[in-house]
Structure 1
Amino acid sequence: MWWLSRHQDLLEVHASSRVSASVKSIVQGIVYAAIWCLWTARNKAAFSGIESKVEIIFCNVMSLGFLWFKYRSKNNHISWLEWCRFSFM
């Protein structure tokens, strides 16, 4: 089960970094958004025959990460422009 160990590494990447707890939380949220977007793209390809481009998946990760961060954290004053620039970190 090689995929399980890599998956676990990806889920725990934020824990080993030397940054503040809030940045770790943001990184964790982005990783979860990426996993979700990759999963849905894979399901669309496997079950509906709809291929996704990398650019679309990346945009989905950015927008979903922004929405999750903005509406599930105390930093809900962040703008889309700040999110795209990562100027809040």
Structure 2
Amino acid sequence: MEVKEDSWGWLGDKDGKFLAALVRKLLIKERAECPLQPLEWCKWLPAKVNIFVWRTGMYKIPTRKALAKRNIQIPELSCVFCEESDEDADHLFSGCPLVQKVWQNVCKWARIPELFAFEVKDVLEHYKFCESRKDAREVVKGLFMLGCWCVWKSRNSVVFSKGTGRSEDIMGDIKSLGFLWLDNRSKYRGLDWVEWCKYPMYML
């Protein structure tokens, strides 16, 4: 029996040969299949939130299912909140029952039509169908973007810090961070916390 030495093979070529030209070709192909999506920047939110939402809209955040597709060993793929489905961006931000409850509370608080979302895009574009006033749309848009950020923070807390993952806590973060950032990063200075908690567009 002939003994062969161990060797490496590259999956990017049918013959297993590594060529820089083929790497470039694969990168160009991947870029074409996933073009950059435009994002309407929310000026009263920090850059880290805008960038996170931009990456979320392109399905480039490290959900459990996304990590598994990259051959990273994940012991559990189910959603950390509901455990009813594999955790991908669409499920986490639109399909999960706990997150759906968060969006219901946001809509009720902001006095806008209820959100019926099937994918991330539906969440991020809901503000376009809620308000005719430009200033109000900007606030609503920011609340949903901030909501995605707070959902992701809560998700990470459950995974890495034994957090509770309660919809009430997520809603509390949306209200408190929204108040802080809108008060300090927009033209609406000196907001009243009590009035904000009743209705976020009270100052318009």
TM-score by length of 2: 0.40
- What residue is the counterpart of 1:88 in the other structure? 203
Residue ranges of structure 1 left out of the alignment (5+ in a row): none
Partner Cα distance (1:18, 1:32) in 2: 16
Deviations 1:32-78 (A, max 9, x none): 11111110000111122222322111111110111121111101122
* 2:130 alignment partner, one of 5, 10, 17: 17
Letter in 2 for 1:88: M
Deviation at 1:88, TM superposition (A): 2.2
Letter in 2 for 1:48: S
Matched, 1:31 2:144: yes
Count residues with an aligned counterpart.
89
Higher radius of gyration, 1 or 2? 2
* Root mean square deviation of aligned Cα: 2.1
Percent identical pairs in the alignment equals: 30
Partner Cα distance (1:37, 1:16) in 2: 23
Higher helix share: 1
Deviation at 1:80, TM superposition (A): 0.7
Partner Cα distance (1:74, 1:61) in 2: 19
Partner Cα distance (1:50, 1:75) in 2: 33
Residue ranges of structure 2 left out of the alignment (5+ in a row): 1-87, 92-117
Partner Cα distance (2:170, 2:153) in 1: 9
TM-score by length of 1: 0.84
- What residue is the counterpart of 2:14 in the other structure? none
- What residue is the counterpart of 1:61 in the other structure? 174
* 1:3 alignment partner, one of 80, 90, 105: 90
Where do residues 43-62 of structure 1 align in structure 2 (5 Å cutoff)?
43-62=156-175
Highest RCO, 1 vs 2 (Cα 8 Å, sep ≥ 6):
1
Q: Does the Cα contact within 8 Å between 1:29 and 1:69 map onto a contact in 2?
A: no
Deviation at 1:8, TM superposition (A): 1.1
